[in-house]
């Protein structure tokens, strides 16, 4: 339900970036809810994903996350 709302209201790039946060949120909530302790690989992977998301947001051009309309050219097919 939350994903449907994100997909409807955000541009595709912002929706794709939000999907990358799902494992990090899961890792964060696994500790208090399930009592699981993350391995060092889990923490390293979460750090890499967070750094990649931060670099994407910092280095993005202005207006990169704006909604864009795609123009799809119409191709005329010869009739058979």
Q: What is the pLDDT along the chain (80 residues), one digit of tens a residue?
A: 666 766 677 677 777 777 888 888 888 888 889 988 889 999 999 999 989 888 877 776 666 555 555 555 566 656 65
Query: Is 76 inside a domain boundary?
Result: no
Query: Is 70 inside a domain boundary?
Result: no
Mean of the per-residue pLDDT values of the chain: 76
Residue 5 Cα to chain centre, angstroms: 14
The domain tally of the chain equals 1
Cα radius of gyration rounded to whole Å, the chain: 19
Evaluate if pTM is beyond 0.85.
no
Query: Is 46 inside a domain boundary?
Result: yes
Query: Is 55 inside a domain boundary?
Result: yes
Query: Is 32 inside a domain boundary?
Result: yes
Cα–Cα distance measured from residue 16 to residue 6, given in angstroms and rounded to the nearest whole number: 10
- Return the pLDDT at 19: 80
Query: Is 12 inside a domain boundary?
Result: yes
Cα–Cα distance measured from residue 73 to residue 62, given in angstroms and rounded to the nearest whole number: 26
User: What are the helix (H) ranges across the chain?
Assistant: 2-9, 12-20, 22-34, 40-59
What's the domain range around 24?
Answer: 2-59
Query: Is 41 inside a domain boundary?
Result: yes
Q: Return the structure tokens found at 31.
A: 């500790």
């Amino acid at each position: 339900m939350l994903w449907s709302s994100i997909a409807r209201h955000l541009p595709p790039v912002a929706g794709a970036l939000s999907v990358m946060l799902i494992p990090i949120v899961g890792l964060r909530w696994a500790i208090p809810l399930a009592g699981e302790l993350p391995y060092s690989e889990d923490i390293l992977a979460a750090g890499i994903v967070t750094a990649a998301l931060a670099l994407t947001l910092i280095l993005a051009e202005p207006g990169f996350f704006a909604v864009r309309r795609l123009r799809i050219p119409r191709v005329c097919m010869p009739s058979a």
